[in-house]
Structure 1
């Protein structure tokens, strides 16, 4: 299957700590209040190697069962080959996996759900896929926590006159056509929010920030290189400009002078 853009397990591992620090704890605790006492079942969509489960499970009541949905079963295997996370009472959670295309998600695929979650997913989906997910969640009628959807806003320090051109080109790349699929990029969270609001659900958005800097230079370098690579892929005319731009930013990074704020949105939605 080729529904979701494939990401490396190395990249998922590299970003996990920053993801955990950026996600909205406020919305997570509100979700915990809305699921009520255990036992609970959490369906995690586009789960990858299970970073959302490792972050959220300790804030939720138990007993917990997590159902990890991903098109790539090798990723969910990585999520279950270590020590299981524990719920807020200290008990290990139960984990099972489910493979399938999110565009075909049905309410029955969310069987027994107490909560539906996803992380860093909406921006790599199509409108059809986001509608399928939201409509299935609405039919089930349980809270939904969608974290770390990119907004397209990036703030580099020190600023450079070229930042805006690379940001604009990266955001255009996020909307590219992949195997006949038009990605939503920075519009993903807004479209999901609109679907829930039209269903007369409550929706709470919170801005969530990656703060990259000298505390994790490897993540900053990997993010910046990927950001520039995507911009150049979208606009090959930036290639010559990118060479000097990379040299400047690399020198700043080596001196500990470079930092970046990457803005995301977390959404909690629940029925009235």
Structure 2
């Protein structure tokens, strides 16, 4: 049976099917209507063509009810979900390439991995940052609702978590390079906020490197989840400058902090952690340095910055996630330091056995950041 994950606002995240096609027309969707669309969308989409300049991005146009579409059988418990963790073979990133995609198409994160981690993400995000965010949004002048840009939205887990915590009408603009994931995000978006007000959604294809203040004109908030650590310093600076130029706050969650605690401990824990962190910094990505770099970038643009821990706490109830995380974590460490392979193979086997037996507990440290940029237009 194909797996789905029930969302807080109704609807499901399908395990495999994607949209039939993608067009260049910006799509504004009432998600209630989207969930009732009479025609299922079938097939696998390929990400052909360029992403386009900011302001003329393409977007997913077919947002229908895909709950009845069957896809390939899900992986068994011993298989590695493509996208679960940083790497599985030399040179392979934490992504999955769909069968119709060309060799030059951008990589894609596996919906199965994003689905698997969604519960842990929701439990980890820092609720302490919500009150100052609500105060800022409540003080926006002359607006009947808020406009929220979710950058690198994936399957839309950030919206499913945050929208039910905010009052008032909300319009979410979902940004991602991948029309396949944008389709998931739009279909499974929440339908109402904390007070029952309407939530609508719009999808846009685009690259964070092209994000500008003009693209964020009229924005009330920019959000992202598990994004900062896979960006370069230049991309983080671009994001901070865009938010500051638009005068909107940013809530950026679940950036890896470079620290992991496993119970019971093992002498190899430290070496694996250090090798993984080095791997995260490959190709100019910030990895565990991202939260500090982002705090500095926003502060340089005059923002007030708050950072709060948001750790995953994984026990027996999260064993499926823990096992996939372990495979990716150890795999990245071995790619960075091949001399670890023999010891790491033994280590991983023992850790997976403990996980299956319900004897392993893991804390994966992350940080959440709220940047309250100076508002424009006289907002307080």
> Number of residues paired by the alignment?
268
In the other structure, the counterpart of 1:115 is 221
Alignment partners' CA distance in 2, 1:124 and 1:83:
24
Length-normalised TM-score, structure 1 = 0.94
Q: 1:240 offset after TM fit, Å?
A: 0.5
Match for residue 207 of structure 1 among 289, 305, 309: 309
Query: 1:82-121 counterparts in 2 under 5 A?
Result: 82=188, 84-121=190-227
Aligned to 1:108, the other structure's residue is in SS state coil
Length-normalised TM-score, structure 2 = 0.68
If asked which structure has higher relative contact order (CA below 8 Å, sep 6+), I would say 1
In the other structure, the counterpart of 1:42 is 148
Higher fraction of strand = 1
In the other structure, the counterpart of 2:163 is 57
In the other structure, the counterpart of 1:257 is 359
In the other structure, the counterpart of 1:142 is 248
**Considering only CA atoms, is the larger Rg found in Structure 1 or Structure 2?**
2
Contact 2:189 2:201 in 1 (8 A): no
User: After alignment, is 21-30 or 43-52 more displaced?
Assistant: 21-30
Q: 1:5 offset after TM fit, Å?
A: 5.8
Query: 1:151-162 counterparts in 2 under 5 A?
Result: 151-162=257-268
1:224-263, Cα deviation, whole Å (9 max, x unpaired):
1110011111111111111110121122112211010000
Aligned to 2:317, the other structure's residue is in SS state coil
In the other structure, the counterpart of 2:112 is 10
Match for residue 192 of structure 1 among 294, 297, 303: 294
Match for residue 369 of structure 2 among 258, 261, 267: 267
Alignment partners' CA distance in 1, 2:282 and 2:198:
41
Alignment partners' CA distance in 2, 1:4 and 1:207:
31
Alignment partners' CA distance in 2, 1:132 and 1:109:
12
Q: 1:21 offset after TM fit, Å?
A: 0.4
Query: 1:68-79 counterparts in 2 under 5 A?
Result: 68-79=174-185
Contact 1:40 1:61 in 2 (8 A): no
Alignment partners' CA distance in 2, 1:109 and 1:4:
22
State the Cα RMSD in Å: 1.6
Aligned to 1:267, the other structure's residue is in SS state strand
Alignment partners' CA distance in 2, 1:135 and 1:122:
15
Contact 1:63 1:93 in 2 (8 A): yes
Which sections of structure 1, spanning at least 5 residues, go unmatched? none
Which sections of structure 2, spanning at least 5 residues, go unmatched? 1-50, 52-103, 375-380
Q: 1:215 offset after TM fit, Å?
A: 1.1
